[in-house]
Structure 1
């Protein structure tokens, strides 16, 4: 709607003008997140001009239906090489697979198939390293969101981003994309395809790079589990009992990581069999005992012979590990984490209570968003609670929070009782 000259110049270089959609992807992602959460959001961002990158600190503040953006820092530097190009190698230079495209972490075009370039009315060589927003105008969906921009903010795959060519707006396409991770685990960009207005039939496809990455991670984890299991079985000869117990802990932790990988790659978890919620909570506590001991925090649990529920074992253990691990991290040294079990209204429930400082009212929903944390100094990527809630809801349950500042937090996992 209005902008200082420097920001307006960047907007125009990205292929848009004032009173048009914000065409700086990382800045737009922060604005979209502030609108969704209805609270002020501050994040670092990078904007790309024609011949340089600009490091910014972006503050997005909701003002009614508008978003006020404050861009500070504004440090220019030579454009960095796209990490995605090195990951895709020669394929990024000569990609010619139907309607395939790829961008780096700043949504600059790394590859564009010849067929897709023809559909959009551009030349692939001419738009290389240009922002994707320079050749496509993104449309909002029925919820008023742009799936690609929301995915950029959350570092997740997306589907159904309607767009039209800036060369000829009658040329309309729908983008689907998967994230690509660099070797250091950092987000490196998107890789995806373009389809027509017809809905996709059948299951979503996983890219070859994702399958290779999955295999690369699973192989060493399988090896760790195998070696740990040999410790447990004492197959290499006599071994002290406490060392054998360590082996069981290692194997359990590795299996948990496998389940995390599985949940990160799928939107829902299928599981409708009877589980013992109390027993699975005990397994999660075993996995976290060493972390609790190192933090000087004790874990106590109500006496519960069993608590039958409907669910899936690995998903439930993952949720409980996240909730109990959070409680340990937010409890003071010498504090106590307590597990309570209950059954009411057709639901089985385990509640994890810590003795930390609690969660402010404004943060109670925000912390369930991906990459959001209760405090800036918290360790971790801010994924645990988001994944936990998604998994629980996939099992017809939920993860809820009951807290007040200064009184600790009470996270509850509820599942259908069996």
Structure 2
């Protein structure tokens, strides 16, 4: 299986199975490669300037894949060859609801979903639909949809899917039946998917199955993170804290004091993340009165080290408390994300400024940097998961997406005011207390 990664870490080409993994991770062709271990191999090959081969594990919807990844520098791009594709049970809970916001009722529904590329080759198939059609999920990737489903004419003697391909438009009620022994009847509906160039790139849709409801598409989804997030992250963080504490206590033998200190920092950071995760799972309507100025000062302290390393001054423009309605841990996390972004994008020796405003019914803090600014066309995109401004290296592209989601769960928002060459001003606004 082949793929290509550009100099900014974006997956710019992929065969269907790799593209399906990219989409399952919440990204797509033309965006950041969202498979961490594969991306790490590509990054290492770029850094060394030589071919690199490593084992890797990738998470699919309900299972893990053991892969062998070979990354070869070719000019400014990295060519990927991925072999193995050995399926193994999932190592832990999935984070499908991390940013998707599905409700508990939606999460419990069977999801008869599918997606194809422009040549109607399957790039995504939900386990429930694969079982209904009587096909193996791993073998279905890359197969023509019509090899899995025998299309049937409607009462007018037409096939909506075929007409939709010709017209490059959505369709509904395409009858069909799984070709495998035991395959059952379905009705497919789909919408057109476009690529980064705006051209037709396939279809994405769902199947109506007798006795099951199609997945809900209600836009009014809950803004709070559900229990799946807590369950998926708590155990790994608990292990990190336990291991870091062993470092602090030198439980495995003598260790330099500065290394033991690093262990203490790791444990403290992991405990903070656990508290944030807990706040994400709590009912946001239970907001309490917080001092936005004091929490900003606390966030600044957390970022002193990276700011000092680059000679950046963080100017905290607050002389009095500024009370707002919110949840302390969530507010601190949003501020750490916003201030951390400003520090990263400011020039060495620059200044990051925090300013505070109370208006009728709201309290807000604005984080201003002296960086390159953000073009108007990118100002909404960077709030999407796995997106980053100016294609900069490093980071996951999740910080702003999480920050906005947390703020909105508290009844507020994170907004942006910027222009190229004029820096960026991110504002966290919360209900006044």
Give the TM-score normalised by the residue count of structure 2. 0.53
Residue number among 338, 345, 353 corresponding to 1:338 in the alignment: 353
- The residue aligned with 1:119 is 132
1:253 aligns with 2:269: yes
- The residue aligned with 1:395 is 410
2:226–2:281 CA contact under 8 A, matched in 1: no
2:316–2:355 CA contact under 8 A, matched in 1: yes
1:171 deviates by: 2.1
2:177–2:185 CA contact under 8 A, matched in 1: no
Residue number among 354, 362, 373 corresponding to 2:388 in the alignment: 373
1:345 deviates by: 1.9
- The residue aligned with 1:310 is 325
1:296–1:334 CA contact under 8 A, matched in 2: yes
> How many angstroms apart in 1 are the aligned matches of 2:402 and 2:355?
22
1:228 deviates by: 9.9
1:87–1:78 CA distance, 2 compared to 1 (3 A):
same
User: Which secondary structure does the structure 1 equivalent of 2:329 belong to?
Assistant: helix
- The residue aligned with 2:233 is 214
> How many angstroms apart in 2 are the aligned matches of 1:320 and 1:26?
34
1:82 aligns with 2:85: yes
1:288 aligns with 2:303: yes
- The residue aligned with 2:371 is 356
> How many angstroms apart in 2 are the aligned matches of 1:378 and 1:76?
18
User: Which secondary structure does the structure 1 equivalent of 2:400 belong to?
Assistant: helix
- The residue aligned with 1:404 is 419
1:348–1:166 CA distance, 2 compared to 1 (3 A):
same
Q: Deviations over 1:80-101 (max 9, x none)?
A: 3336x23449xxxxxxxx9799
1:354 deviates by: 0.8
1:25–1:410 CA distance, 2 compared to 1 (3 A):
same
1:350–1:414 CA contact under 8 A, matched in 2: yes
1:1-400 to structure 2, matched below 5 A, reads: 42-43=30-31, 80-82=83-85, 85-88=87-90, 119-120=132-133, 122-124=134-136, 127=139, 131=143, 135=148, 166-167=176-177, 170-172=185-187, 196-197=212-213, 213-223=232-242, 252-259=268-275, 261=277, 269-400=284-415
**Structure 1: runs of 5+ lacking an equivalent:** 1-12, 15-22, 35-40, 47-72, 90-97, 138-161, 175-193, 232-239
Give the TM-score normalised by the residue count of structure 1. 0.54
1:402–1:410 CA contact under 8 A, matched in 2: yes
Q: Deviations over 1:238-269 (max 9, x none)?
A: xx9x9999898655422333256558x86984
> How many angstroms apart in 2 are the aligned matches of 1:259 and 1:221?
14
2:372–2:422 CA contact under 8 A, matched in 1: yes
Superposition RMSD on alpha carbons, in Å? 5.3
User: Which secondary structure does the structure 2 equivalent of 1:328 belong to?
Assistant: helix
**Structure 2: runs of 5+ lacking an equivalent:** 1-14, 35-75, 92-108, 151-171, 179-183, 190-208, 217-221, 251-256
> How many angstroms apart in 2 are the aligned matches of 1:343 and 1:246?
39
1:76–1:222 CA distance, 2 compared to 1 (3 A):
closer
Count of aligned pairs: 294
> How many angstroms apart in 1 are the aligned matches of 2:188 and 2:226?
19
1:248–1:74 CA distance, 2 compared to 1 (3 A):
closer
User: Which secondary structure does the structure 2 equivalent of 1:82 belong to?
Assistant: strand
> How many angstroms apart in 2 are the aligned matches of 1:377 and 1:281?
26
> Which of structures 1 and 2 has the larger relative contact order (alpha carbons within 8 angstroms, sep 6+)?
2
1:117–1:252 CA distance, 2 compared to 1 (3 A):
closer
1:136–1:163 CA contact under 8 A, matched in 2: no
2:19–2:123 CA contact under 8 A, matched in 1: no
1:347 deviates by: 0.4
> How many angstroms apart in 1 are the aligned matches of 2:140 and 2:310?
50
